Amino acid sequence: MGHVEMCLAVAGLKEGEVNAVTRRLAGEWSVFSPAERAAFAFTRKQAHDPASITDADVRELECHYGRDRAWHIIWWASRCHYMTKVADAFQLPLEQENPFWSMPGVPAKPEKPKKASPQ
Domain that holds residue 63: 3-100
pTM: 0.67
The number of beta carbons lying within 10 Å of the beta carbon of residue 74 is 20
Q: Are 38 and 70 in contact (CB under 8 A)?
A: no
Nearest to 15 by CA among 110, 93, 94: 110
Q: Please check whether residue 53 lies inside any domain of the structure.
A: yes
| CATH number, position 17 | 1.20.1290
Phi-psi region of 56 (alpha: psi -120 to 50; beta: other; left: phi over 0): alpha
Q: How many domains does the chain have?
A: 1
Classify residue 118: in a domain, yes or no.
Answer: no
Domain annotation covers residue 42: yes
- The answer to whether position 65 is within a domain reads yes
Residue 56 domain-assigned? yes
Q: Is residue 109 part of a domain?
A: no
pLDDT, one tens digit for every residue, the chain (119 residues): 467 787 788 788 888 998 898 888 887 889 899 999 999 999 999 989 999 999 999 999 999 999 999 999 999 999 988 888 888 788 877 666 666 666 676 666 666 656 665 65
In a domain? residue 15 = yes
Domain assignment present for 114: no
